[in-house]
């Protein structure tokens, strides 16, 4: 961080949608992600103006880590997602690249939710 404080930079934390919503049986995991979102805002304030600190909060993304959330239920998850599909790692990567770029030079302390609208509808 010393070099970043001297020359500037960008930190992007990867949280999860659970940091912003309440989900049954995921309390400890979600609380850890909520803490990360809170630390993102604190560090954004403390490290400004040289370093920007933001976070990305993905919904269900088709990764091995999240497999239990979508495997054998791809159709149901896709149809419950307003944009009609499960997220891909490239969806999250695109948000990270944006936040790291000069196009986000006036954004700090923010969380970009990348969930295809999953947080808009909490159906069965």
Here the CATH number for the domain that contains residue 99 is 3.40.50.720
pLDDT at 107: 98
DSSP 3-state of 60: coil
The count of domains in the chain is 1
Q: Is the per-residue pLDDT at 13 higher than 60?
A: yes
Between residues 121 and 120, the one the model is more confident about: 120
Task: Give the range of the structural domain holding residue 45, as residue numbers without chain letter.
Answer: 2-115
Q: How far is residue 10's CA from residue 95's CA, in Å, rounded to a whole number?
A: 13
- What's the whole-model pTM score? 0.90
Is 121 part of any domain? no
> Mean pLDDT in the chain?
93
- Helix or strand holding residue 14 (H, E): strand 9-14
Supply the pLDDT for residue 54.
98
Question: Which residues form the catalytic set?
Answer: 29
């Amino acid at each position: 961080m010393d070099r970043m404080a001297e020359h500037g930079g960008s930190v992007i934390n990867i949280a999860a949608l659970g940091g912003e919503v309440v989900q049954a049986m995921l309390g400890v995991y979600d609380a850890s992600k909520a803490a990360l979102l809170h630390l993102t805002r604190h560090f954004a304030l403390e490290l400004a103006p040289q370093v920007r600190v933001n976070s990305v909060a993905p919904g269900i993304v088709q990764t091995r880590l999240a497999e239990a959330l979508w495997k054998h239920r791809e159709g149901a998850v896709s149809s419950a997602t307003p944009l009609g599909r499960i997220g891909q790692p490239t969806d999250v990567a695109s948000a990270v690249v944006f936040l790291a770029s000069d196009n986000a030079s006036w954004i700090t302390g923010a969380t970009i939710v990348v969930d295809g609208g999953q947080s808009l509808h909490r159906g069965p």
